[in-house]
Structure 1
Amino acid sequence: MSRRPATRRRPAEAAPAAALASAVTVRHYCQGIGDCHLLTFTKPDGSPFRMLIDCGIHVSIAGGPALVADIVADLKKQTGGRIDVLVITHEHWDHVSGFLTAKDLFKDFVVGDVWMAWTENPADTEALELDKFKGQALAALQGVGQKLDGMQGLSPYMAGVRDGLQSVLGFQFGAAGERVRSARDAAAKLSAKPSPTYFEPGGPPQTIAELPNLRIYVLGPPRDKAALRLEEKAGEMFPLASGGPFARALSSGLRMNQDDDPTFVDELSPFERNIGTPLSAALNGDKGSDPAVDIGAFTRKQYSGPVSGAASMEDRDQSWRRIDADWMGIAADLAMQLDRGVNNTSLVLAFEFIDSGRVLLFPGDAQIGNWLSWKDLKWPVGQGTVTSADLLARTVYLKVAHHGSQNATPQKQGFDLLTSADLSAFIPTNKVDAVKVHWGEMPYDGILTALEAKTKGRVIRADDPWLADANGKPAFAAPSGSIQAVRSAPRDPARGPGGLWVEVDLV
């Protein structure tokens, strides 16, 4: 259907915070590395409309399932077990684990609708392509992980690769690699509708009949495969599809010692299969294909462990020369592509209040490729057009993406466009836990510094010390900016220190 060309309108001027009544209450649960956010809107008749965004925790968190059970119990108490819309941003364990580990608690909830990104739609051809890539990559990574776990004397580099694979497979995707799929599907089954509702960018903004003052814009994930490839910056592109060759190479390497398959062809080998001697055979004394050459003795002397009673340097441990495990190093690249590629499939929602023009942005774990794909997005609204730049300029509240990691929020197409004087932010992060899993600097100091300046200090973190105190208060004054009030509750001491939730009234 054709439309009359719309004229671009100027972004609505946000009304002063003091002149507005609270538009929404957001309760952020403070499990640290994990997301769970309850948004409570008020219908015209005064009754609540509740939207839950994700519910999960990183598997590295000690007592994580018990903490999530506390969170779900609090959700039940807060909502009476009624969730109007459940949003699943993407398929990562720290966003969906609760729907599996606390399945018995969630079964009594009534959920009106489940929202997911188009990337989770089993009837979508492009989603199936992505799913096939994920399946092949996971299978290859699991095979490499099992092989490395059984190897002795790994070099420091390969030991790091092994530990990194354990992090990706065990933390992001569950110990069995596909538990995350079970958790996602458990969330989908909570819907009162036959299947979830799937969203993609473009078209008019979404509306909810019970909330006439609200428009919801879908910014991501992009359909553009090039956008899904981007991980760190605009000049560097890591094709998601390149996981195919990586996965095939790893799978071929893992099959190299399968002597029971005479049809197997190693695509990576420069020689025919009948040429040469397997390293394991040479180390065990095999003389090789040429009886005149004792390849076994040479190999044992030059590349094996210490020779009994060794007197000279050359007879001592020479196993450091071997690189027989190094080919598996490409697993690190594949694991990073898979992890970040899934983050870029995050469902990104911007909530606009029509009367004030003020916007709340919930980007899931969107990384750079997802963010940059919003640049040219436009939505027809009335006789005008809303752009992504308009929405970012009017954003007064930001759920920071991917726990504040370095490559989650761009500067030029992210922070530089967040220009509202009333901007406030929440980061679902725990620095101590990030160090434990070797994630480095998370939250990233550069992002924290930019946020502190942009928000005038109105940044709340899930690991803020004041959240552990029943009477704790943030350093900034409330009301301030978009935040009208702040409330919090500490955890049960049996679950460790910290807050269970922090709640803000926003305008």
Structure 2
Amino acid sequence: MSRKPAAARRPRRTAASATARVPSVTVRHYCQGIGDCHLLTFTKADGAPFRMLIDCGIHVSITGGPALVADIVGDLKKETGGKIDVLVVTHEHWDHVSGFLTSKDLFKDFSVGDVWMAWTENPADPGAIELDKFKGQALDALQGASRKLDGMQGLNPYMQRVRDGLQAVLGFQFGAAGERVRSARNAAAKLSAKPSPTYFEPGGVPQAIDGLPKLRIYVLGPPRDKAALRLEEKASEMFPLASGGPFARALASGLKMNQADDPTYIDELSPFERNIGTPLSTALNGDRGGDPVVDIGTFTRKHYSGPVSGAAPMEDRDQSWRRIDADWMGIAADLALQLDRGVNNTSLVLAFELIDSGRVFLFPGDAQIGNWLSWKDLKWPGGQATVATADLLARTVYLKVAHHGSQNATPQKQGLDLMTSPDLSAFIPTNKLDAVKVRWGEMPYDAILTALEAKTKGRVIRADDPWLADKNGKPGFAAPSGSIQAVRSAPRDPARGPGGLWVEVDLA
């Protein structure tokens, strides 16, 4: 048998040529901890960069947060020359949009081609209008409860936790000096060169980008279904969102009843006439009320708040543990969780598919369980075949972990279990110490972190990884490895504290 000429023989593949890939996208994750900001850079067919920025914010509790975000925006300007082709605003939470307000003077010099938002942010959408009314009324009620609890003494341990939890949730909705997160979201919208943002719904035709013929972008969320948004106490009851839901109505009604400066309020459920009894505030202040015989103030302090000056030894104990006058506001905890969960579930969820390789990069914002579960029946036209969500998840090789790795995001059966690619890698925008400070407890959640480590064979990068503080730091895995072809990082300005400013990964 004759041998083929040398020129016709297939060259031997070296180990490097067999595994190395040309980066399909470079992702620069900024490392502010509890906050999201991600710069995606694709290379167009003509060699020009296409840049997409996803969110820019930091939680209000982070010390020096606005200054750190200003450093981030300055780095963005240096890296991009101030040109962003698409700005994605995933949802209306302070830790995702605050930078557009606190660093608006820096952003004003940017050129932004288009702003992408979810249908939930569209002021002309009837569903979004209804949702907005719910959010507004719920926030008003929570703010009222928070102010009242802040001014109360003698709260029992449960109500102290409710007060602290309210402060944490409201930190997502309000920035310094009471600035509403809406102002930050609107500041982002105004950066667009177009008259208004482009709003997206799940499903439909995958998005195509001019100059990037090998890229498809799928919109998975947020869902239209109210039950999937999880804004009702029970999905079967379908309370109207526009009225704020029963939690918001009850809380608002109770706050109004407790306003001493509102003499017109009538409690229709009270078994007594309005002129019967002594207001608790009056009794606690030591007044006798209208009874000339019984000293209501002394009796109340002795048996309800205490201690009482001059009381007998056995009566001189602090009785404030008996107080229940604030317990009715415990409903604020349920409303706060409902609101927080609902807003997270309005996250715009994007899956980026590389057509040639079929690989997928998933950016779910802060999507929680309701959002994730709503994807399972979605289908898209994809060339000669239909693309389903399970297929996209099976081909996912890179995951931006939702909601800072919290326990109420990234489901197991409808999430990680479906991500079966052996090339999976992940990034978590989290900071464990800051999460403790905000009283969130375990974040990232240990079970999710353990599952991710197993799924990715250790290819998990966290925004609080110690090696990011070293300009020569390297992750604990070798690159190329899985979807990650190379890793670069930059430490923060020491004036902003220890840690990394950003970590950058080349993905293929």
Note the 1:289-308 alignment, pairs <5 A: 298-308=299-309
Which residue of structure 1 lines up, in the alignment, with residue 224 of structure 2?
223
- Report the count of equivalent residues: 491
In the alignment, is the contact (CA less than 8 A) between 1:275 and 1:289 conserved in 2? no
Which residue of structure 2 lines up, in the alignment, with residue 10 of structure 1?
none
Note the residue ranges of structure 1 that are not aligned, 5 or more in a row: 1-15
Alpha-carbon distance change, 73 to 312 in structure 1, aligned in 2, over 3 angstroms = same
Offset at 1:235?
A: 11
In the alignment, is the contact (CA less than 8 A) between 1:243 and 1:337 conserved in 2? no
Which residue of structure 2 lines up, in the alignment, with residue 107 of structure 1?
108
Calculate the aligned-residue CA RMSD, in Å: 2.4
| Amino acid across the alignment from 2:66 | P
Which residue of structure 2 lines up, in the alignment, with residue 187 of structure 1?
188
Offset at 1:328?
A: 1.0
**Alpha-carbon distance between aligned partners in 1 of 2:349 and 2:19, rounded to the nearest angstrom:** 28
In the alignment, is the contact (CA less than 8 A) between 1:240 and 1:337 conserved in 2? no
Which residue of structure 2 lines up, in the alignment, with residue 394 of structure 1?
395
Offset at 1:279?
A: 1.7
Deviations 1:127-179 (A, max 9, x none): 11111111111111111111111112221221221121122223443245552
2:447 matched to 1:451? no
SS of 1:255's equivalent?
helix
Which residue of structure 2 lines up, in the alignment, with residue 8 of structure 1?
none
Offset at 1:304?
A: 3.7
Offset at 1:290?
A: 7.2
- Superposition TM-score, scaled by structure 1 size: 0.91
Deviations 1:100-146 (A, max 9, x none): 11111100000000000000000011111111111111111111111
Note the 1:339-378 alignment, pairs <5 A: 339-378=340-379
In the alignment, is the contact (CA less than 8 A) between 2:298 and 2:308 conserved in 1? no
**Alpha-carbon distance between aligned partners in 2 of 1:236 and 1:481, rounded to the nearest angstrom:** 43
| Amino acid across the alignment from 2:411 | P
Which residue of structure 1 lines up, in the alignment, with residue 80 of structure 2?
79
Which residue of structure 1 lines up, in the alignment, with residue 494 of structure 2?
493
Which residue of structure 1 lines up, in the alignment, with residue 13 of structure 2?
none
**Alpha-carbon distance between aligned partners in 2 of 1:200 and 1:356, rounded to the nearest angstrom:** 26
SS of 2:458's equivalent?
coil
Alpha-carbon distance change, 270 to 373 in structure 1, aligned in 2, over 3 angstroms = farther
Deviations 1:401-424 (A, max 9, x none): 000001111000000000001101
Q: Which stretch of structure 1 is more off in the superposition, 469-478 or 311-320?
A: 311-320
Offset at 1:349?
A: 0.1
| Amino acid across the alignment from 2:126 | T
Offset at 1:251?
A: 1.7
| Amino acid across the alignment from 1:384 | A
- Superposition TM-score, scaled by structure 2 size: 0.91
Q: Which stretch of structure 1 is more off in the superposition, 301-310 or 135-144?
A: 301-310
In the alignment, is the contact (CA less than 8 A) between 1:148 and 1:162 conserved in 2? yes
Which residue of structure 2 lines up, in the alignment, with residue 90 of structure 1?
91
In the alignment, is the contact (CA less than 8 A) between 2:251 and 2:332 conserved in 1? yes
**Alpha-carbon distance between aligned partners in 1 of 2:77 and 2:284, rounded to the nearest angstrom:** 62
Q: Which stretch of structure 1 is more off in the superposition, 307-316 or 486-495?
A: 307-316
| Amino acid across the alignment from 2:357 | S
Note the 1:399-478 alignment, pairs <5 A: 399-478=400-479
**Alpha-carbon distance between aligned partners in 1 of 2:238 and 2:39, rounded to the nearest angstrom:** 34
Note the residue ranges of structure 2 that are not aligned, 5 or more in a row: 1-16
| Amino acid across the alignment from 1:18 | T
In the alignment, is the contact (CA less than 8 A) between 1:230 and 1:369 conserved in 2? no
SS of 2:202's equivalent?
coil
**Alpha-carbon distance between aligned partners in 2 of 1:402 and 1:270, rounded to the nearest angstrom:** 46
**Alpha-carbon distance between aligned partners in 1 of 2:245 and 2:473, rounded to the nearest angstrom:** 51
Which residue of structure 2 lines up, in the alignment, with residue 31 of structure 1?
32
In the alignment, is the contact (CA less than 8 A) between 2:58 and 2:65 conserved in 1? yes
In the alignment, is the contact (CA less than 8 A) between 1:253 and 1:266 conserved in 2? no
Offset at 1:337?
A: 1.1
Which residue of structure 2 lines up, in the alignment, with residue 69 of structure 1?
70
In the alignment, is the contact (CA less than 8 A) between 1:252 and 1:268 conserved in 2? no
**Alpha-carbon distance between aligned partners in 1 of 2:475 and 2:318, rounded to the nearest angstrom:** 59
Note the 1:149-168 alignment, pairs <5 A: 149-168=150-169
Deviations 1:62-95 (A, max 9, x none): 2111111111111111101100000000001110
